[in-house]
Chain A
Amino acid sequence: MPEPGHEILHLSNVSRHFSGLKALSDVSLSVSKGEVVGLIGPNGAGKTTLVNTICGVTPASSGVIRFDGRDITRVKTYQSARIGLSRTFQIVQPFAEFSALDNVAAAALFSQPGESLTSAREAAREHLAFVGLDAQADQSAATLTLAMRKRLELAKALAMKPKLLFLDEVNAGLNSAEVERATRLIHQLAANGITIVMIEHLMKVVLNVCTRIAVLHNGQLIADGAPRDIIKDPAVVDAYLGQQYAQRNAARG
């Protein structure tokens, strides 16, 4: 396990095209152990594509991605899951027929070498308890509420013993009490030493949780720094609120 502050993820000049359309262009980014990085940007900025590219779902068209010292640019999805990269999905992806327990057990079973079905189920119970789903362990995933399914996603991701965890809009569609609960969980994860990169629309959550913010706009990284600086950055304000607003703001001084 690398020390805190040690670089765990490094992207240099990563690009991704979809038949001519440039979804990511020349993104360079570095994440250190223990950080909680917020990845923000308007809709269609390329945030989810960036996560997909890192996890091997949509491999990079060019550029290099290094994780924990090794080149993972061309690594397949299932391999990236086994080396400690895990993620939740914006649109939850449960195994609908399985119980909540087996959903998490699947994650433990296939990501950890040498895990047996029995030991994976045991581990799954702990992770379900951590996200507060122990009471629903035997319920089928299809019958859970959205908030519960979001937490199930998180439990699955945790069962993979991640070194780096991507959270893709874990709070979308949740009410404020549920958001608060999820935020507490993220704090706890960070306290446990898991490095987190989170895509999030709720600025309240981002400012509350993140130690650093990276901003994507039209597939380009337009800002990267401490939360306080980022929200004042004219390029960011411009990307979010449009040029007119930025100019008016500048005129007012």
Chain B
Amino acid sequence: MTRSTVALLILIACVAALPLFGGAYALRLGTIACMYAVFALSWNIVGGFAGYPSFSTAAFFGLGAYATGILMNKGIPLAAAVGVSLLFCLLLAVILGAVLLRLRGHYFAIASLSLVEVFRELVNNATDLTGGGMGLNIPLVSGSSVLSDATFFFYAMWGLLLVTALTVIAVSVSKLGFGLNCIRQNETAASMVGLNATLYKAIAFGLSACFVGAAGGLYAAWVHYIDPSDVFDILYSVKPIVMALMGGLGSPLGVVCGAFLYLGLEELVWRNYIQIHSGVLGVLIILLLLFLPHGLVSLHVGRIWRGLTGRKAKHA
């Protein structure tokens, strides 16, 4: 195990101790922190390892939220509903990935962005199943008090983060991770040495979608009410990219640090500039891109950078 893997696991373990320190606010923040870290780690599989700039996080987040919400309304328990949502997102993303990841650069970015629109409109129009624009109420998970409910969802989201992190670590040292790395650097050469790039990319896209879908499911059950414009918010697609850029593309430890840092900034902005929070977020994004383009973990990011740049130049 490398040093950064150990550091990542220690960091995640520390997060688990959060309920010891706090009331409802700390728990809420902690749950969102875990959710963001799941987003960032998931995005990193396809965006960081394979080098495909995906904007589809919101699509699978919303899909997972609605899948879980609908199942729970049919009386299926939370754990099973989230599990089904995870598998559903995995399968759907593998199939979509096999098709969409034939596109590169801007074209892939736009196609993945469009997925969010398509899913949102589909959910919006399937009024019988989803309640359409009116939103969907989700039955409460029986908890004895508000606080124990909050603790439950915190640990559920934390557990999901742990599973995601372990999966990403496993991928990064496996043949799959090695192959995705090859694809990012030179896809032509990768298929020339016998790598089935379509299969690898589809699996990567599936893995990057399934945990996000599960997070959506937990989120839906946590907040009890979802509507399409909330869970299919394009910001959910952009945030993980900002987190990854903050922390350092490609490094699991980096993107998780980026997620936590991002949440900290977001909270700060929300509390102080509620009216103009998205504008302040915009300013932050621009400052980050201009002055810290290589993220916090910029140790070997320079090379990744060149890899991405080379890819772009080729398909410009």
**Do A and B interact directly, with beta carbons closer than 8 Å?**
yes
Q: Is the CB of B307 within 8 A of A96?
A: yes
User: Which residue of A is nearest B193, CB measured?
Assistant: A107
Q: How many residues of A contact B (CB 8 A)?
A: 30
Q: What is the CA–CA distance of A82 and B193 in the complex, to the nearest angstrom? A: 8
B6 within 8 A of A: no
Least CB distance, B84 to chain A, in whole angstroms: 33
Question: Could you tell me if A78 and B189 are in contact, using CB atoms closer than 8 angstroms?
Answer: no
A96-B192 contact, Cβ under 8 Å, with A106-B178, A106-B182, A117-B178: no
Q: Does A212 contact B (CB under 8 A)?
A: no
A221 is an interface residue with CB less than 8 A from chain B? no
A23 to chain B, nearest CB (A): 18
Q: 0/1 per residue, B287-308, Cβ < 8 Å to A?
A: 0000000000000000110110
Whether B240 is near chain A, meaning CB under 8 Å from some CB there, is no
How far is B175's CA from A98's CA once the two chains are assembled, in angstroms?
Answer: 14
Whole-angstrom distance between the Cβ of B270 and the nearest chain A Cβ: 38
B residues less than 8 Å from A89 (CB atoms): 189, 192
A111 at the interface (CB under 8 A from B): yes
* Interface size of B in residues (CB-CB distance below 8 Å): 23
B194 / chain A contacts, CB cutoff of 8 Å: 78-79, 81-82, 107, 110-112, 160
Interface string of B144-162 (1 = CB under 8 A from A): 0000000000000000000
Chain B residues with Cβ below 8 Å from A96 are 185-186, 303, 306-307, 310
Chain A residue at smallest Cβ distance from B303: A97
Using A96-B185, A96-B306, A96-B307 as known contacts, say yes or no to A78 and B191 having CB atoms under 8 A apart.
yes
CB distance from B43 to the nearest CB of A (A): 20
The B-contacting residues of A in range 54-99, CB under 8 angstroms, are: 55, 57, 76-79, 81-82, 86-87, 89, 93-98
Please tell me if the beta carbons of B186 and A93 are within 8 angstroms of each other in the complex. yes
Q: What are 21 A-B pairs with beta-carbon distances under 8 A?
A: A55-B192, A76-B191, A77-B191, A77-B192, A78-B196, A89-B189, A93-B188, A93-B189, A93-B192, A95-B181, A95-B186, A98-B181, A98-B182, A106-B182, A107-B193, A107-B194, A109-B179, A111-B194, A112-B194, A117-B175, A117-B178
- A residues sitting closer than 8 Å to B (CB atoms) are 55, 57, 76-79, 81-82, 86-87, 89, 93-98, 102, 106-107, 109-112, 116-117, 140, 156, 159-160
B interface residues, Cβ below 8 angstroms from A: 174-175, 178-179, 181-182, 185-186, 188-197, 303-304, 306-307, 310
Seed contacts A97-B185, A107-B193; 19 additional CB < 8 Å A-B pairs: A76-B191, A77-B191, A78-B195, A82-B194, A94-B186, A94-B189, A95-B185, A95-B186, A96-B310, A97-B303, A98-B181, A106-B179, A107-B194, A110-B194, A111-B193, A116-B175, A117-B175, A140-B303, A160-B193
